[in-house]
Every structure is written in structure tokens, then in C-alpha cells.
Amino acid sequence: MSKLRVAVVGAGPAGIYASDILRKEAEGRHEVSIDLFDRLPAPYGLVRYGVAPDHPRIKGVVNALRDVLDNGGIRVFGNVDFGRDITIEDLRERYHAVIFATGAMHDAPLDIPGIEAEGSYGAADFVNWYDGHPDVPREWPLDAEHVAVVGNGNVALDVARVLAKQADDMLPTEIPENVYRGLGDSKVTDVHVFGRRGPLQVKFTPLELRELGEVPDTDMVVYEEDFDRDPAADEESKRNKQLLVISRIFGKWRAADAPTGASRRIHLHFWSRPHEVLADERGRVRALRVERTEPDGSGGVRGTGEMRDYEIGQLYRAVGYFGSPLEQVPYDPERGVIPNDGGRVVDAGGEQLPGMYATGWIKRGPVGLIGHTKSDAKETIEHLLAGEETWWRPSIEDENEILGLLEERRVRFTDLEGWHNLDSHEISLGEPHERERIKVVDRDEMLRISRED
């Protein structure tokens, strides 16, 4: 049975599922060893740092990922930054192949005038803040009463929901102390969510929409002019179960008496395409100008030329995530992905590069949920196992030599035992407050606890 050593760069769901599938699919064919690298001290990627902490169903995903790592056969190296601490040459000398699973953690651009005004943010940065990401500032200025969120996907609704919640509403979650304080100081009273399409052409799920309407002490505000404008979509909603549920939720809000006197409001604006961010004399956001749209008869929308200004003090663009380039790895700057053919990394001419594979959002772009990630990883692994003739031929056979390399470069890497240390510590922080855990935010503190330095 031949030896197969694989490096996986990225310890989020994509990287962990790819590792698990590789281990299972290679059984009986290869003696496989897998090293999982991540630039953060803790694993789980987007599940830990990209999902709102008030989503209890995410706990099930975390438990599944934990089980994969705890089953053995996968070594974890945290706080190792590809391109800085290890290079493609380092991997080529020690492994037969590498799988890139670095995801997409940055915001896609919104190319409208004024988007760079002070107080205009990417939603991903805000999500990283309230999820306690170690590489973002500890403070967030929630100093505006009226706030705009641009986008009609799940992330847009997550951002709107967290902005509308009182700090104490988030206490049962794992938010760190600095986030609790920041939400407690928030001046937000009204959150305006803008989508360029109609209410039955949204990208969020019924569950996300329902959760939005369950925020305590918050009124849901919808506008009658946004409904019954697209007969084709109305008919489609009668045949599509998901749209039918969304339509019923909207119907409930349309029939409700609002406002009720709640301290905060979430306004949903449809048929509203962002046109320009208007700034005051200090360069701060003061308004969002939108163009009203209408159905174009082909399933899309067209502008009507009617402009409306909404007075706001902050803006969050939630129009999608975007992947980042990696050192010495092909990159498509238009799509924010690693160019590939079914997970096999290709060069500018479309030729497969030996030993290099991709999976997850860095492979296909930021679309799809956890289920897509598993099937995506399976495709990549099938091609990897079928392409033995294209594998690298490592010159260093000692599997433990990578530890010496990292130590020689003074990389303060963490391992699976270190993650267990940090995990236990966060749980212990939460216990006195009857919370499941409280996240540790500071990277040096994460490393000290993980490594028991």
C-alpha cells in the first residue's frame, strides 16, 4: 500500500470535510497522513468567525467538525500562515499534494460613488467583530441611530438582526465581553435593509427571515408599495415551498399594526438599488441614495430613474464574500477564486498544476451551504486520488520534520491538544455566568492558553 501525505490549508468546514473524506476514501488504497494548517490559532473557520453567534443550529455543525478532528488521523497546525510561515516549496518537499480550502473571508466590493465615506463598512468586518475574530479591532462605533444594510442574503439579515438586538439579548451566546459592551453602547434605533429585487426574489432563507422577526422589542416595517408588483413571482411563490413560506411571513407583517412603540425597528426596502452614498462636510455617511427598480419581464430588474434619499449615519454592504490570493498560487481576481477544473488547480492556460487542489469557497466562489461543501470536497478528493501520476514526489520522508521546520522559524503553532485547552478555557469562562462559553479574542492570549506557555 503506497504512502500518501497531504497538506490541507484552511481548517474551516471545507478543509475539515475534505480531510475526513480523503481519510475514508483512501482507506485500503493508500497509507494516508493529513496535516491541516490554518493561520488562526483555533479551527472551524467561517463557522467560528463568520456566523452570527445567536444561531443555535450552528452548534450541530461545530460538533460534527469536532468529531472529525477528534477521531484521529489528522494533525492540526494552527497559527501557521501560508505564504509567510510555510511556502509552496516547503509543502512540495514534504507532501504528495496540497488542498487549498482557505474560503472567502472578505467583502465583495459595491462599486457606487461615495462607498468609501467614513462610516461605510463591509459586513464581513462587522461579523468578524461580533464573532470575536483576533485580527480585527476590539471596538466598533455603533454611534448612528439610522443604519443601512445593503443586500438581501443571509449575511445581510444576520447583520440587521445583531444591529437591532439589545446587548442583553446576546448574553446567552458566546460573544466576548468587548462585543457585549459595544452592543450595550449602541445608539441604533432603525435598521434599513435594501434589496434591488422584489420580496420574492430574495436570497435569504425562510428561517433567517423568521428569526429576523423574532428580535425582542423590535418592530418589523415593510412597505405596501413593494408588494404585488411582480405577478410572475407571485405565481411562482404558489409552486415553490420556500417562497410560499417567505410570502406568508411577509403577509403577517403587512397585516400587523406597526409601529407598536418598540424601541427599535427593522425596515425592509425592496426594489431599491443603491446608487450613491452621500457624505457630510466631514466626509461621514449622511444618506444613501437608491434608484427604484421594477421587474424587467425576464426575471431581472431595471431602473426606473426615480431616486430616493434615506438619511443614515452608517452603511454596511452585505453583497457577498470574496476570496483572497495566496502566495505562488494561481488566482482569478474577477471571481476571487483559485482557477480549477473540478478542484484540480489549473494555470492561466487551463493546464493542471501537479499536486495542487482546491475545495470550498476558494474553489467555487461564496455560494452554497454546508451540504454543498461536503459534495464539493468529495469531487476534489476523487480527482486527487485518481491523479496519482500528477502527485509531487517529496524529498523529505520524515513526517515529523515539519514540526522542526516550524520551530526553527519560531512559529508559535498550536495543535489539536492546544485547541482542546482553549476550548475548555472558553467553556470555563462561561460557566460562572451560565453561558456555554465566552470567546477569547486576543491572539496572544489564545496562543498562551493553547500552548500553555
- Has residue 447 been placed in a domain? no
Whether the predicted pLDDT of 390 surpasses 90: yes
What is the pTM (predicted TM-score) of this model? 0.93
Sign of CA dihedral 156, 159, 163, 169: positive
One domain, residues 97 and 114: no
Name which of 310, 315, 302 is nearest 271 in CA terms.
Answer: 302
CATH code: domain of residue 221? 3.50.50.60
One domain, residues 179 and 317: yes
What CA–CA distances, in Å, run from 343 to 92, 103, 150, 385? 18, 13, 32, 12
One domain, residues 388 and 358: yes
Whether the predicted pLDDT of 46 surpasses 90: no
One domain, residues 114 and 202: yes
Say what the pLDDT of residue 453 is: 81
Q: Residue 97: is it exposed, middle or buried by C-beta count within 10 angstroms (0-12/13-18/19+)?
A: buried
Question: Of 321, 340, 370, which marks where a domain is finished?
Answer: 321
One domain, residues 214 and 288: yes
Mean pLDDT on 363-383: 86
- Domain that includes residue 145, residue range: 107-321
Whether the predicted pLDDT of 76 surpasses 70: yes
Mean pLDDT on 404-433: 96
Question: Of 302, 321, 340, which marks where a domain is finished?
Answer: 321
369: pLDDT confidence band, cut at 50, 70 and 90? low
Whether the predicted pLDDT of 316 surpasses 80: yes
Give the residue ranges of DSSP H helices in 7-153: 13-25, 46-49, 58-70, 88-94, 123-130
Whether the predicted pLDDT of 307 surpasses 90: yes
Name which of 153, 290, 300 is nearest 223 in CA terms.
Answer: 290
State percent of the chain over pLDDT 90: 83
Question: Of 394, 413, 432, which marks where a domain is finished?
Answer: 413
Helix (H, G, I), strand (E, B) or coil at 75: strand
Q: What is the mean pLDDT of the chain?
A: 94
Mean pLDDT on 264-291: 97
One domain, residues 206 and 311: yes
Determine which of 12-16, 111-115, 372-376 has the lowest per-residue pLDDT on average: 372-376
One domain, residues 389 and 335: yes
One domain, residues 100 and 116: no
Alpha-carbon span 230 to 373, nearest angstrom: 34
Q: What is the DSSP string of 113-148?
A: TTTTSBTEEEHHHHHHHHTT-TTS-S------SEEE
Grid coordinates given for 312: 443614515
Say what the pLDDT of residue 81 is: 97
Kindly state the greatest CA–CA separation across the chain. Answer: 72
One domain, residues 113 and 214: yes
Say what the pLDDT of residue 258 is: 66
- Has residue 199 been placed in a domain? yes
Determine which of 113-127, 249-263, 284-298, 398-412 has the lowest per-residue pLDDT on average: 249-263
**Which DSSP helix (H) or strand (E) runs through 250?**
helix 241-255
- Residues 336-358: pLDDT tens digits? 999 999 999 999 999 999 999 99
One domain, residues 232 and 348: no
Alpha-carbon span 122 to 44, nearest angstrom: 22
231: pLDDT confidence band, cut at 50, 70 and 90? confident
Number of domains in the chain: 2
Alpha-carbon span 103 to 43, nearest angstrom: 13
Q: What is the DSSP string of 213-240?
A: TT-TTEEEEE-GGGSS--HHHHHHHHH-
Say what the pLDDT of residue 185 is: 97
Alpha-carbon span 213 to 8, nearest angstrom: 40
